[in-house]
Each structure stands twice: as structure tokens, then as C-alpha cells.
Chains A and B, each alone.
Chain A
């Protein structure tokens, strides 16, 4: 009965979503206030029925209702309860349901928190989001209904969740990633509304900004969790592979980053308007492609659970329609929202434009690399297979990121409209000299070796950090005390600096880990040991131990430091009963300055195993940096200027620091 209830709720949600996408639009057209006001209750309705529907599917999983085909193929009675719940989004149908639930949730959130938006704008925004819900609800109901039953042939038990997905990382990874992907639909809807109405002013940017920040922060966390999951669950200690599934999440993130910056310009200076609209459309389009390139089997990857070209076709058709029509609308209407303002070659506007160009170029390069195998095949025929490996992406991406970091400090320290070269010099010359010198000296003193990439990375990170310090000092210089000055700075300023700090932390983490990790693959017989850096690893053999739905070979590896026992690692090799799949579970001791990593390879006779042992300094900083970035995004949302009521007050606030700074600079 419950699955039918879920199915019925889906149909109800669809009908309400159809109304939501049509009625407010007609209301705006006819200037009928009643029809426009209907948008709010309608999206509440869609949300409520989506929640019910999701709850029903979750119930079917927890209840082991294997008459539901989706449950039967993604769960198993032996599966621990928490994995039964997470299995709800472990496959294609369920993750689609989660995706639509999130569209509904964001729509509902917009209707809740935008009470002060002009009614016609709100109505259009909600209607655009309604259209998105309708497309994917239709797709779900007709091609991938999670509530389809196997009534005639109810299996006694399910075939189990993919063992790769039986892990904490995967419990939280897709929801965050989807929250990010889907969150860009709000910016998208705002952009479409602006193009339709022709109104795209500072207020518009202020409404759009917090939603974009929120989506971006979710996506940041989602990507970081995915990389963390790859790090310990896929078993081999890498944390970024430039795999298609990672690239398609990374591209909307980069475009989202560009969007956040260009929104600031649109908000403060009223320029780059059509560019901002294009970025908003692009961010969501890439999110759609991101979710569905992988799902459609176009690029096979670890996340391609349900690969089905026919479904892919339908999905592609929907995406084509959504993206194609919005880009077409953009082409027709962009001239309407052109901004007029003047700025000079050394203004903040220009530096942010450079930031945007670099980000968009990197997205284009990553897209090219990801799709190149397909292009190659299309040109040279299907027999010609190539793959594009990490060297391509690294060679492209790292220099571009170096470049963007150089402009990061200049941009965040410079002024709107016009920044004098003298001011920039007075602010940044010392910072530049200090970061280059310290960037060489610190690593030299600590490691006593010449390593140019490390010099560059440390210098870049210091360039960001010292730049932040310099800017805060300048901005607080005219206040009675530093503390008072710090209090006077806005939350959106703090958000920016925290996110930039996160960038510095990531650079350090990435570079130190890649250069100073020690990775050993060794064959160890029980009792044998190996010394890696300051640590001695002793292999104590492998025992077979039972798990809830698997049997595991558990290795015992004692770690000693300075001849005293330090800790013991227990890497596992699991064989899952239902599928017979073998899964490597690394054991990692996470630390602030280093991770110890152990994974079991394969047995090599006489109790000896190939064991992979890593000492990875500062790898934790990569995720810490990502967390800081997300925290920065959230902090900026809390800025009072985004509370729509206080719009007017803000106008004066933003002008003051600029004016005072220029006095000082002169």
C-alpha cells in the first residue's frame, strides 16, 4: 500500500508542478495578482507531496519491501539499517527522486525567504523552477519510476547495495552534491526572470547572490566529500583523479565561482549584466549535464550505476530543451539588460573580469579534456580509442590556477571604478616581496632541499594569506582599535576572506601532499616491517572476520614511532555475500599534519600480502580548505544587506570604506 501512496504523491506533485509552471506565468502576463499569489501555495504543495513520496520510498527500504523492484535491486535484508536508508538514493531511480525533492525544496525555500520580492518576479522565478520539476517528474514517472512493483515474482531477498556505496562518505556525498547542483537552479530561474522582464538591477543581484552562495557552498562540500570518499573508499590513497564524474561536478563549481564574483560586480556597479545572466544559465546547465552525463552512460564512471542509452536519450532531449531554450532566450533578450557604467583598466571590475575569464577558460579546457575521447572517436572512427589522463588536466589547470591566485589578492585589495597604480603598489609590493622570499626560505629551512614547485605553491599561498592580512589592516586602520575595526567589517567581507583563506589552505595541502607523501607498495610476510619516514610499520598478518553482510580479511599493522608503539591500523579486504564483490577498505589515521594510510593488496603466498602504506603530510588540509571555502560562502549569506528589508541602509555602507581608503592611498 505504501509504495502506491508514494506513487500517487508523485502524480499529485506532478499535477501541482504543472499548475505552478503555468498559472503564475499567465498571472504575470495578464497582470493578475491572484494568479501570481497562487505560486506560493502551489510550491508548498509540490514540496509536501515530494516529501511524502520520498518518505514512502524510504519506508519501503526500511521495511524490506522487495516487491518494489527498485528496493529489490538496491537493498538486502542483511544490509545494516543506516545503509538501507541511504540505499534510497543508491541507484538511478532513487537518486532522481532525491534530485526532484531537492528542486522542490529549493523552490519552497525561495517562496519562504523571498517575502519581500516583487510579486511578479517571485511568480516568474517559482514558475521557472516549476518547469524544471515538471520535466524531471515526467521523466521519472515514465522511464524510471522508483515505485514499480514486482508483484508476480516477488524475490525473497534483494540483490544488495553496491558495496562501494556501503560507506559513510556516500551517505552524505550525493545529497550535498545534488543540493549544490540543484541550488544553481535558483540563480538560473532568477536569470531567466531577468531576461523575460528586462529588469536586472542591483536589487536583482542582491536577491540572487545568497542563493548562489548557498548552492556553491553545498557543491563545495559535496565535491570535497566525494574526493574524501575516493581517498579512503576506493582504496588507493589518491584524492583526485580527473575522472569524468569528478570533472562534471567540478565544472559547475568553477562556473559558480565565476558567477559569485560577477554577481558582486553586477550588484555593486551594475555592469557585466548579460555576462552574469549567461553564467547563471551556464552553471545550472553544467549541473544538469553533470548529473546526467554520468547517468546516461555517455561517459562511464564509478557513479554510472544505471546505464541505459534509451533513458539517456529521453534525458538528453529534456536537457536539450531546457538549456537550448534558455540560451536562445539569452541570445534574444541579452541586449535588453545591458549595463552602462565606466571603469578603468586597473579597477576591481577588470580584475574580477580576469578572474572570470580564467575560470571560464579552465572550464572549457576541462570540458574539452573530458569529452575529447568522444570527439576523437567521432573524427577518427570508433576503432580509435584514446583516453585523456591526469597529465593533460594538470598541465592545463595548475598554471591557470597560479594565474588566478596572482589576481586574487590584487582584485580583493583594489577598488571599484578606479584604483591607482600607486595605491596597489603601496598595498601589495611588500606583500609580494615577503611572500616570494618566505616562500623560498621556509621550505628551504624546513626541508633543506631546492624544490621549485613547492617554492611556488608556498609563495602563492602566502600571497593570499598576507594579502588578506594587509587588506584587513588597511580597512581597520582608521578605527580606534583593531578589534573595533574588525567589528566594523561586514560579514560578506569576512565571507570573502575566509573563502580566499580556504583557497590558500587547499594550495598548501595539495602541494605538500603531492610532493612529500611517501608511498610504498611492499610485500610483507607476518612479522616483517618497513620504515617509512619517522614511522615503522610491522605487518602482523591477516585474519578472516565476519561482518554483517560480508566476510573480511583483516590485516593488522602496528605502527611505531621513535621505537614506541604508536597505533595499530586494520585495513580490510571484504567479500560481500550477495554479489560476491571484493572491496578494499583502507584504514587511515587522520591527523592535522599527516595521515597514515594502509590498504591490503593481494595475497602472495605463505601469509604474505602486498600492502600499500602511505605517509601523507597535510592531506587533511585539502578538505579543511574546502570546508573553509564553504564556510566563507555561508558567512557572506548572513550579511545583513541580503536581508531584503535593509536594502536602503546598505547603499551608504558600501561606499564609505572605499572613500576612506582612497584618501589614505593618496
Chain B
């Protein structure tokens, strides 16, 4: 007995690293299954924030939230300095042709109204309303982290969906169309 037990002890000791590692793996497995990686927007299912902001074209004066309500709104935050915005621009032109019941609202950053106007003139203007977020307050209210971002708003002014990044026909079909089918 005295001969046998120390040897067994030695052997068992060698399995300690494996055991420690298995416990750790259990923990990792728990960690991986735990963290659902969706970052929901705080604004979804809440009303579009109130705002009153000037038009990109000074002669049109000022727009407020109330003037826009009633239709389905597609609110796009963009800037002429933003390459992904250039990328999604042709697709917006397409939607503004085909989807007649959607009111398109463009909100541009205040970096250069001159260049924004030039951009729309050269490449076409998909927006029914062009708003400039002069003091940045609308961006803050919407919790915008960058451009482009697009919000889908229903007839009652509730935000249905927020999309970060450029939109193309696939994203439109997969994500936006199901929402539109609900409210049309």
C-alpha cells in the first residue's frame, strides 16, 4: 500500500492542469453563449424627437417635426464629405422614384451647406425635404454616431427601425420592406 499510493498521487497530480483547463473552458462556454450581440437602439418604438431646423435652401425657411408627420418617413443623415453616403445615393434616387408613399427627409451635417447643395445638384436630389442640422442638436436627439444613418418612421411619427451605415437594395429588401409591409 505504501508503495502504491504515492505513485497514484503523482499520476493524479498530473491531471490537475487538464482539470483546471476544463473548468476554464466551461466558463468560456458560458461566456460565449451568454452575450447576445445585438445593440438595440434606444429610440426604436419611440416617437421621432421634436425639432425645428432650417432648410438646406435658405429660401424654404424652417422645418419642424409637425410639418413632416402624416406619411411614412425615411430620415437619412448624410453629408457630402461622407463616402458611404455617396455609395448609397444612387439607391435613394431609385427609391424616391419607385416608392411614392414614402417621404424622404435628408438631414445633412452642418460642415458645408454649399458643398451639400452642389452635390445634390450634380447627382440628383432624392429628398422631399432637405434639413440642415445646424447646431447638431437633432443628431444628438437621434443619438446619431456617424453618417450615414437612416431612420424609418411610421405615419404616427414612431421610429420603427434605425440603420447604421449605407443602404443598398439587399438591405432594403431584407430589413426595410418587412417593416413597410406592416404599416402599409
Seen from chain A, the residues whose Cβ lies within 8 Å of a Cβ on chain B are 76-78, 153, 155-160, 274, 278, 281-282, 285, 293, 296-300, 307-309, 312-313, 316, 320, 323-324, 327-328, 330-332, 334-335, 371, 374-375, 377-378, 382, 551, 577-581
Alpha-carbon separation in the docked complex, A11 to B37 (Å): 31
Q: Evaluate contact between A335 and B10: CB separation under 8 angstroms.
A: yes
Chain A residue at minimum C-beta to C-beta distance from B170: A153
Query: Does B143 make an interface contact (CB < 8 A)?
Result: no
Chain A residue at minimum C-beta to C-beta distance from B11: A335
Alpha-carbon separation in the docked complex, A312 to B32 (Å): 7
Q: Evaluate contact between A371 and B83: CB separation under 8 angstroms.
A: no
> In the complex, how many residue pairs between chain A and chain B have their CB atoms under 8 Å apart?
103
Query: Does B18 make an interface contact (CB < 8 A)?
Result: yes
20 CB < 8 A contacts A-B: A153-B168, A156-B87, A157-B84, A274-B14, A297-B35, A309-B35, A309-B37, A313-B32, A320-B25, A324-B18, A371-B27, A374-B30, A377-B30, A378-B27, A382-B34, A577-B81, A577-B83, A578-B82, A579-B146, A581-B146
Alpha-carbon separation in the docked complex, A480 to B146 (Å): 72
A580's partner among B15, B87, B146, B168 (CB-CB below 8 A) is: B146
A331's partner among B14, B87, B166 (CB-CB below 8 A) is: B14
Query: Does B58 make an interface contact (CB < 8 A)?
Result: no
Q: Evaluate contact between A328 and B25: CB separation under 8 angstroms.
A: no
Asked whether A331 and B17 contact (CB < 8 A) given A159-B165, A324-B22, A378-B27, the answer is yes
Query: Does B51 make an interface contact (CB < 8 A)?
Result: no
| Closest 6 A/B residue pairs (Cβ) | A580-B146, A157-B83, A331-B14, A156-B87, A327-B18, A298-B31
Q: Evaluate contact between B32 and A331: CB separation under 8 angstroms.
A: no
Q: Evaluate contact between B17 and A330: CB separation under 8 angstroms.
A: yes
B37's partner among A307, A332, A580 (CB-CB below 8 A) is: A307
Q: Evaluate contact between A374 and B27: CB separation under 8 angstroms.
A: yes
Alpha-carbon separation in the docked complex, A154 to B133 (Å): 30
A402 shortest CB reach to chain B, Å:
27
Residues of B within 8 A of A297 (CB): 32, 35, 37
Alpha-carbon separation in the docked complex, A155 to B86 (Å): 10
Q: Evaluate contact between A155 and B35: CB separation under 8 angstroms.
A: no
A596 shortest CB reach to chain B, Å:
32
Q: Evaluate contact between B83 and A77: CB separation under 8 angstroms.
A: yes
Known: A156-B86, A313-B32, A578-B146. 16 other contacts (CB 8 A): A153-B168, A159-B84, A297-B32, A297-B37, A316-B29, A316-B32, A320-B25, A324-B22, A330-B18, A331-B15, A374-B27, A374-B30, A377-B34, A551-B111, A577-B79, A581-B145
Q: Evaluate contact between A331 and B27: CB separation under 8 angstroms.
A: no
Chain A residue at minimum C-beta to C-beta distance from B146: A580
Query: Does B66 make an interface contact (CB < 8 A)?
Result: no
Alpha-carbon separation in the docked complex, A63 to B109 (Å): 30
Query: Does B147 make an interface contact (CB < 8 A)?
Result: yes
Alpha-carbon separation in the docked complex, A330 to B31 (Å): 27
Q: Evaluate contact between B83 and A334: CB separation under 8 angstroms.
A: no
Q: Evaluate contact between B37 and A308: CB separation under 8 angstroms.
A: yes
Q: Evaluate contact between B30 and A334: CB separation under 8 angstroms.
A: no
Residues of A within 8 A of B145 (CB): 579-581
Chain B residue at minimum C-beta to C-beta distance from A298: B31
Residues of B within 8 A of A309 (CB): 32-33, 35-37
B87's partner among A157, A278, A312, A320 (CB-CB below 8 A) is: A157
Seen from chain B, the residues whose Cβ lies within 8 Å of a Cβ on chain A are 10-11, 14-15, 17-18, 21-22, 24-25, 27-37, 79, 81-84, 86-87, 109, 111, 144-147, 165-166, 168-170
Residues of B within 8 A of A332 (CB): 14
Asked whether A157 and B86 contact (CB < 8 A) given A331-B14, A331-B18, the answer is yes
Chain B residue at minimum C-beta to C-beta distance from A73: B165
B137 shortest CB reach to chain A, Å:
15
Residues of A within 8 A of B33 (CB): 309
Chain A residue at minimum C-beta to C-beta distance from B36: A309
Alpha-carbon separation in the docked complex, A158 to B32 (Å): 30
Q: Evaluate contact between A334 and B14: CB separation under 8 angstroms.
A: yes
Residues of A within 8 A of B165 (CB): 159
A324's partner among B25, B28, B35, B87 (CB-CB below 8 A) is: B25
Q: Evaluate contact between B32 and A327: CB separation under 8 angstroms.
A: no
Q: Evaluate contact between A155 and B84: CB separation under 8 angstroms.
A: yes
A388 shortest CB reach to chain B, Å:
15
Alpha-carbon separation in the docked complex, A155 to B81 (Å): 16
B82 shortest CB reach to chain A, Å:
6
Asked whether A298 and B17 contact (CB < 8 A) given A309-B35, A309-B37, A580-B146, the answer is no
A158's partner among B21, B25, B82, B83 (CB-CB below 8 A) is: B83
Max chain A C-beta neighbours (<10 A), residue from B30, B79, B165 = B30
Residues of B within 8 A of A579 (CB): 145-146
Residues of A within 8 A of B144 (CB): 580
Chain A residue at minimum C-beta to C-beta distance from B30: A378
Alpha-carbon separation in the docked complex, A337 to B165 (Å): 58
A65 shortest CB reach to chain B, Å:
15
Alpha-carbon separation in the docked complex, A374 to B23 (Å): 13
Q: Evaluate contact between A155 and B166: CB separation under 8 angstroms.
A: yes
Alpha-carbon separation in the docked complex, A419 to B107 (Å): 79
Max chain B C-beta neighbours (<10 A), residue from A278, A285, A327, A580 = A580
